[in-house]
Amino acid sequence: MPQPAPPESPRYQQIYRQLREQILAGHYPAGTRLPPTRKLAQQLGVARITVSQAYAQLQLEGYLVTRPGAGTYVSPLLAATPAPDQPVQPALSGWGQRVVAHTHEPERPAGPPPSAGLIDFGFGRSFPHIFPYDVWRHLLARYLSTDDVMLSRYGSVAGFMPLRAAVAEYLARLRGVHCTAEQVIIVNGAQQALDILARLLLDPGDRVLVETPGYTDAYALFAVHGALLQPYPVDEHGFPVETIPAGATARLLFVTPANQFPRGGTLPLARRLALLRWAEAANALIIEDDYDGELRYEGRPVGALQGLDKTGRVIYLGTFSKVLFPALRLGYVVLPPALVAPFIRAKQVIDRGAPTLTQAAVADFITEGHFERHLRHLRHAYGQRRQQLVCALQERLPAGARFSPEPAGLHIMLYLPPGRDEAEVIRRAAEAGVRVYPGAAYHLEQPAPPAILLGFSGLSETEIEEGLRRLAVAVGDGVIG
């Protein structure tokens, strides 16, 4: 029988819902006669009309039938309800099987839950106290008015045009990218651009040249699309293009020229030009991931590889996650003209475009000068933090450990002396209250050289200093240095 229920929705809906559950659970088998409305109303202490409404709704939906003069019955249809069964295990497609094979469970914090005092050298976090939230609130509020029809319609698939134009202008001026606003497509994070490119360009069995260590999230995506990854170990100047065998062909090459991820290092002009020559000869396309090209702390950022490309072989990826905030989930891709239409069609059929409000606010953030001002603040703040980390590393970690001197990026990849046990270092560090991350996750070659990744963009200078002190203590007995 229906039970008294909380008061927040009309009483008849509760009676309806409980009767429905009981019918579906088989408590009232098909053909059962229900109590007359008057009687049930008395039992439940409600008005008869309330029960009548519930019966009427159930009748409307087909659960109950009335026989004139003979009362209300559970529909005979319900006898045919499939019996409770084992849950189905649906078969996965080839793509679905690859996604399970080539990815891991989304990261969950390992070990004990983070304590308040834990210092976490997580990568890719932004430092919340730097972002000008007051400006951002103001820009969002500008579009959140009842007079504005922008939010009441679906946006443009390729992105909000003023944002595309602002990005094109910004990239031309500060990154040396050659493009029109039409070549700029706004995506839900750079990873989405990679996904669409992989779908458009890769058939199972296609070869993709990648860096190692490298951006393994991208590689997982290529592998899920069935690509054969061909890893090239980078040196301190990035992708070793001269080691590609003559005549080797591939569909794609993925590269981080501005600051090799995660090792660090800028690809010199000679290698850039050689990459373009190779792509021409191999009939390949190059994906240039400029994930943090803006974040260089000395000298001027080196221009994009895309700016050297004259034949439309370079696809340029950028993101706002690093320079605004990660939770924004907004990135952009600059496409060769021949790929613009297929890319837009793919995005159209996939998700119909990124949220308009955020795009409008970012567009204003750029065109009104907040973005470059914010970048200056970021460069200053992150440059100081990197310097702090570098000094602490030099002071506390003696010979044998090494890292790139490139004054750029949001992390340092610390290579441990050969033979050290990376997992052991990470475990001991955790015990000492400092979380560092495994370099192995970024290496495709086996065995990978032992290394840990130290992201500094979410920490204060005091935390960096204290974190390194703990790290040195934790591993001081010979594990590092």
The least CB distance from residue 171 to a copy of itself, in Å, is 13
Residues in the chain: 481
Q: What span, in angstroms and rounded, lies between the C-alpha atoms of 472 and 481?
A: 10
Q: How far is CA 238 from the centre of its chain?
A: 24
In the complex, minimum distance from the CB of residue 15 to a copy of itself, in angstroms, rounded to a whole number: 12
Is the Cβ of residue 67 or residue 104 nearer to a copy of itself in the bound state?
104
Out of 32, 43, 103, 243, the residue judged to bind a copy of itself by CB under 8 A: 103
Contact between 168 and 181 under an 8 Å Cβ cutoff? The reply is yes
By CB under 8 A, the residues from 187 to 206 that bind a copy of itself are 188-189, 191-192, 195, 199-203, 206
Enclosing H/E stretch for 252: strand 252-255
Side-chain-side CA neighbours of 321 within 13 Å: the count stands at 22
Which of residues 248 and 346 has its CB atom nearest to a copy of itself in the complex?
A: 346
Question: Residues 47, 49, 100, 391: which binds a copy of itself (CB under 8 A)?
Answer: 100
Start-to-end CA span in the chain (Å): 73
Is residue 66 part of the contact set for a copy of itself (CB under 8 A)? no
List C-alpha distances in Å: 327 to 190, 358, 379: 13, 11, 20
Answer for the pair 313, 275: CB distance below 8 angstroms, yes or no: no
AA letter at 417: P
Position 246 contacts a copy of itself (CB under 8 A): no
Q: Which of these segments, 31-39, 345-353, 377-385, 469-477, binds a copy of itself (CB under 8 A)?
A: 345-353
Site string for a copy of itself, 355-384 (x = CB under 8 A): xxxx--------------------------
Which H or E element spans position 464? helix 461-475
Cβ atoms of 315 and 286 within 8 Å: the answer is yes
Residue the block writes with tokens 């439309």: 312
Q: Which is nearer to a copy of itself, 37 or 457 (CB)?
A: 457
- Subset of 390-449 contacting a copy of itself (CB under 8 A): none
- What's the closest the beta carbon of residue 138 comes to a copy of itself, in angstroms? 10
Closer residue to a copy of itself in complex, CB, 95/431 = 95
* Near a copy of itself by CB under 8 A: residue from 40, 46, 119, 158: 158
How far is 286 from 312, CA to CA, in rounded Å?
A: 9
Distance CA 38, CA 36 (A): 5
What residues from 3 to 62 belong to the interface with a copy of itself (CB under 8 A)?
9, 13, 16-17, 20, 24, 57, 60-62
The 3 state secondary structure assigned to 279-345 is: HHHHCCEEEEECCCCCCECCCCCCCCHHHHCCCCCEEEEEECCCCCCHHHCCEEEECCHHHHHHHHH
Q: 450-479: which residues touch a copy of itself (CB under 8 A)? A: 458
* Tokens matching residue 443: 């290496």
90/478 with CB nearer a copy of itself: 90
Binding test (CB under 8 A) with a copy of itself, winner from 35, 36, 162, 176 = 176
Which listed residue (2, 122, 450, 467) binds a copy of itself by CB under 8 A? Answer: 122
Can you spell out the DSSP letters for 170-208?
Answer: HHHHHH-----GGGEEEESSHHHHHHHHHHHH--TT-EE
Q: Count residues near a copy of itself (CB under 8 A).
A: 129
Please state the φ and ψ torsions of residue 160, each to the nearest 5 degrees: -70, 120
Taking CB under 8 A as the criterion, the residue among 41, 44, 224, 287 binding a copy of itself is 224
CB of 176 to a copy of itself, least distance (A): 7
In the complex, the smallest distance separating the C-beta of residue 466 from a copy of itself, rounded to whole angstroms, is 18
> Residue 243 carries which DSSP code?
G
CB of 211 to a copy of itself, least distance (A): 19
Q: Which residues of 79-88 are buried (b: 16+ CB within 10 A; e: fewer)?
A: eeeeeeeeee
Would you say 220 or 390 has its CB closer to a copy of itself?
220
Pick the binder of a copy of itself from 118, 161, 181, 220 (CB under 8 A). Answer: 220
**Shortest distance in whole angstroms from residue 51 CB to a copy of itself:** 15
User: Binding a copy of itself by CB under 8 A: which of 7, 45, 68, 87?
Assistant: 87
Question: Is 78 one of the binding residues for a copy of itself (CB under 8 A)?
Answer: yes
Query: Which of 200, 391 has the CB closer to a copy of itself?
Result: 200
The three state secondary structure string of 219-238 is HHHHHHCCCEEEEEECECCE
Cα–Cα distance, 475 to 481 (Å, whole number): 9
Q: How far is the CB of 338 from a copy of itself (least distance, A)?
A: 5
Is 157 among the residues that bind a copy of itself (CB under 8 A)? Answer: yes
Q: Mask of contacts with a copy of itself, 265-304, x by CB under 8 A?
A: ---xxx--xx-xx--x----x-------------xx-xx-
